[in-house]
Amino acid sequence: MADVALFLDTMAGLCSRDPLTFEAPGRSFTEAVASPVVPKRVAFTATFGGKVLVDRETREICAKAVRRFENLGAVVEEAAPDLGGIGEAFLVLRSQHYVVDRELLLKTHRHLIKPDIIWNTERGLTQTPSELAAAERERAALFRRTAEFFETYDLFVSPGASTPAFDVNLRMPAAIDGQKLDHYLGASLITAATTMMGLPSIAVPCGFDQYDRPVGLQIVGRHRGEAELLQASALFEQAMGLGRSVPLNPRPGTVPSDQNDSSEQPTSV
């Protein structure tokens, strides 16, 4: 976390060429991490009330790891903001972003662009103004619900990904928790949802699955609450003690051929 804080100190600040920037805080993030404060109330969810697919073993590892905050003196409760229709809204707004970035390239270099980017861009080109407006309204509604949620909780925690790392030769896991995915973004909603909240978030290692693949927690803080988020993450990092286990040497191993069905024979990677 000290490294992350230092990098954020280097990046943060007002840039006259970027309208989305603002002044860095008066107190550096490095200084904040050096004197961390324990959060009072922590909310945890494994699946956002069943709206997000998450691998069973990942859920179990994360549910156990989040209890480290209790050892620090925080209250940990099962709770999550209502995601509403944010999954569809994310697809709409993401596709529109691809139109901005890739529409002209699609016309001139289509043969050099991978199918997933073509799909996202063409999806955006067929969207209506009403669909874009509905997605923006959905995002605004999620932000309001989340702001209200953080009136009760200091941190919001979930698994950092829906599955551990899968075979590098695969575009996406075939299924998660018994459910096949409709498209390659099906395993991304757990991070897409927090992106749509417009809040600071960080991924912190919290353990390893049965194949020694790392699993992490996604920790989300209040709006403009980067310092408090880094402080809590630093305390969690110290409590887990995984920093003493890195760097890890890459080595041959096995992962399940199907992310969901452990009865299938594993494949080598």
| Domain boundaries defined on the chain | 2-79+152-268, 80-149
* Tens-binned pLDDT, residue by residue, of the chain (269 aa): 999 999 999 999 999 999 999 999 999 999 999 999 999 999 999 999 999 999 999 999 999 999 999 999 999 999 999 999 999 999 999 999 999 999 999 999 999 999 989 999 999 999 999 999 999 999 999 999 999 999 999 999 999 999 998 877 877 888 888 888 887 777 889 999 999 999 999 999 999 999 888 999 999 999 999 999 999 999 999 999 987 776 777 677 676 765 544 333 333 33
The DSSP result for 133-201, as a single string, is HHHHHHHHHHHHHHHHHTTT-SEEEEESSSSS---TT-SS-SEETTEE-SSTTTT-HHHHHHHHHT--E
> CA–CA separation, 44 vs 52, rounded Å?
14
Q: For position 174, what pLDDT does the model report? A: 82
Fold of 2-79+152-268: Amidase signature (AS) enzymes (3.90.1300)
Q: For position 261, what pLDDT does the model report? A: 45
- Three-state DSSP class for 126? coil
Helix H segments across 49-128? 56-65, 68-72, 86-109, 115-125
Task: Record the pTM.
Answer: 0.88
Q: For position 212, what pLDDT does the model report? A: 86
Q: For position 262, what pLDDT does the model report? A: 38
**Of the candidates 244, 239, 219, the residue with the CA atom closest to the CA atom of residue 229:** 219
Give 145's contacts (C-beta < 8 A, 6+ positions apart).
81, 82, 84
